[in-house]
Amino acid sequence: MSYAWNSASTRMYRPLLQPDLKLMLAEDDRFGLQQFCEVLNPVIVAEVLQGLDPQSVWRVLASTDIETQAQILEMIEPSQQIELVASIDRQHLSKIIEVMAPDDRVDLLEHMDEEQLESLMPLIAQAERDEIRKLLSYPEDSAGALMTTEYASLPEEISIGEALSRLRQQAPNRETIYYVFVVDTGRRLHGVISLRELIMARPASRLADVMKRDLVSVSVQDNQDDAAKLIARFDLIALPVLDEESRLVGIITHDDILDIVQEEANKDAYLQAGINPLEHSYFSTPLLTIASKRGVWLLFLSMMALVTASVISLLSSQTQSGQTNEPHPSDLHQQLAWFLPLVLASGGNTGSQSATLVIRAMALATMSRRDKYRLAVRELLTGLVLGLGLGLFNWIALQALFGLSPLHAGVVSLTIVMVVTVGSVVGSILPLLFDHLGMDPAIMSNPLIASLSDLFGVFIYYKAATWVHH
């Protein structure tokens, strides 16, 4: 990858260029489309294509050669890639896949369903097919699944001059040539030399005398996280990956690690807020998928809060046994306290989830005003879905486990519906507001959202109880 496009900031190109592109499509301006594909950086092309229907994207891509199509497809995000591969004939797709970078191609194929994959594989050339099957066989989080097989390698007995001329021939098809791996005929790794050291060394020296022999590597089976730690610790551009017999089979490059570090940070942040990690970005994950990834945890936490409620119901009757009579189970005021932690946790937890999703979504991408609006609407809807689900669950549980009347269980459940919905909206809007004001959205911390939600929650809860009581 190298530079292209003049940009002093991280502004988005889509709003700027998509209208032009649509005009070119409407006018069937083939030359314009070709220029669009070939002059701009593939990263930017992919960004501008975002949100376009698959047929239009393929019309744009058809204006250029197969290599450029592959480069652009590599940069398109997974959910749109899947749409695209489903709407093109397999013959053409197999040609593109053959010229894609091995690591990007495996990423794409991993996202396709079994059936699609099996109908596509026979069309791909034998050599690429074998390599794909091999890379697909590595576990999802392993170094093997992340590596590319396009590394630069040389034998150790040649001279520096010879090495440089051989490297020139390899260069076009290699992910990086800045680290050159020195291997024997059995592909066993003997050393490494950087291109910087190569061009500084005397041309007559032997490679074996100049290369470094001690080196850092990972095994195909190692976790991607371990590879990230090594690259970060030693500031590497590429890390060699060895198979079980210590043969060099691939490299992991610095840019892939940046993605891994970000994904890990997202995964940790999601889990920390009780959200099962999303596989794609927030916006390319369907609303109901997000709701289910949050819902399982909220449901589990509701069950924990019901245990807490039963502890309170048990202990609070002991506390006051000395002063008044045993509370009657229909005594609403008494019961309000039992379920207070349940109600408040529901709102606080949902709010924390929303805040985390918003803050992570803003962490490494710039959001347009439209994205922010869309986000708030999505969180409102997700909150409603989660609130209704949790409310219904608790309405049944409170009657079954605590013998509450449908009306009294309804007060608690309706409050849950409301605090969950409001929690979700407040949890997403406050960080957006802070960002808008130029402040760090992360200051709107989970406990702060939870405490605001608590305040709202007790208000609704006791108001609803008063209303039912009269």
Q: CB-wise, 122 or 438, nearer to a copy of itself? A: 438
DSSP-assigned letters across all residues of 274-293? T-PPPSS-STTS-HHHHHHH
Q: CB-wise, 277 or 406, nearer to a copy of itself? A: 277
Q: Please state, in angstroms and rounded to a whole number, the distance separating the CA atoms of residues 92 and 80.
A: 17
Q: CB-wise, 365 or 392, nearer to a copy of itself? A: 365
Question: Position 215: which residue type?
Answer: L
Q: How far is the CB of 87 from a copy of itself (least distance, A)?
A: 27
Phi, psi for residue 187 in degrees, rounded to 5: 60, 20
Q: CB-wise, 123 or 414, nearer to a copy of itself? A: 414
Q: How far is the CB of 268 from a copy of itself (least distance, A)?
A: 5
Is-contact 388 343, C-beta < 8 A?
A: no
Q: How far is the CB of 378 from a copy of itself (least distance, A)?
A: 20
Is-contact 357 449, C-beta < 8 A?
A: no
Q: CB-wise, 95 or 267, nearer to a copy of itself? A: 267
Q: CB-wise, 24 or 273, nearer to a copy of itself? A: 273
Q: Please state, in angstroms and rounded to a whole number, the distance separating the CA atoms of residues 58 and 49.
A: 10
Q: CB-wise, 186 or 438, nearer to a copy of itself? A: 438
Q: How far is the CB of 117 from a copy of itself (least distance, A)?
A: 27
- What tokens were used for 100? 């894609």
Phi, psi for residue 121 in degrees, rounded to 5: -55, -45
Question: Position 127: which residue type?
Answer: A
Q: Please state, in angstroms and rounded to a whole number, the distance separating the CA atoms of residues 132 and 247.
A: 18
Q: Please state, in angstroms and rounded to a whole number, the distance separating the CA atoms of residues 111 and 81.
A: 9
Cα–Cα nearest to 133, from 143, 142, 141, 122: 122
Residue 36 burial (10 A CB sphere; 0-12, 13-18, 19+):
buried
Phi, psi for residue 63 in degrees, rounded to 5: -75, -15
Phi, psi for residue 331 in degrees, rounded to 5: -70, 100
Tokens 């989660």 sit on residue:
386
Q: CB-wise, 113 or 214, nearer to a copy of itself? A: 214
Residue 446 burial (10 A CB sphere; 0-12, 13-18, 19+):
buried
Q: Please state, in angstroms and rounded to a whole number, the distance separating the CA atoms of residues 470 and 459.
A: 17
Question: Position 399: which residue type?
Answer: Q
Q: How far is the CB of 80 from a copy of itself (least distance, A)?
A: 16
Coil, strand or helix: which one is 248? Answer: strand
Q: How far is the CB of 115 from a copy of itself (least distance, A)?
A: 32
Q: How far is the CB of 110 from a copy of itself (least distance, A)?
A: 20
Q: How far is the CB of 318 from a copy of itself (least distance, A)?
A: 5
Q: How far is the CB of 86 from a copy of itself (least distance, A)?
A: 26
Q: CB-wise, 109 or 361, nearer to a copy of itself? A: 361
Q: How far is the CB of 1 from a copy of itself (least distance, A)?
A: 4
- What tokens were used for 391? 């409310």
- What tokens were used for 53? 């229907």
Coil, strand or helix: which one is 388? Answer: helix
Q: How far is the CB of 409 from a copy of itself (least distance, A)?
A: 17
CB atoms within 10 A of CB 378: 20
Q: CB-wise, 50 or 194, nearer to a copy of itself? A: 194
Q: CB-wise, 92 or 263, nearer to a copy of itself? A: 263
Q: CB-wise, 17 or 258, nearer to a copy of itself? A: 258
Q: How far is the CB of 366 from a copy of itself (least distance, A)?
A: 7
Cα–Cα nearest to 364, from 269, 290, 293, 276: 269
Question: Position 410: which residue type?
Answer: G
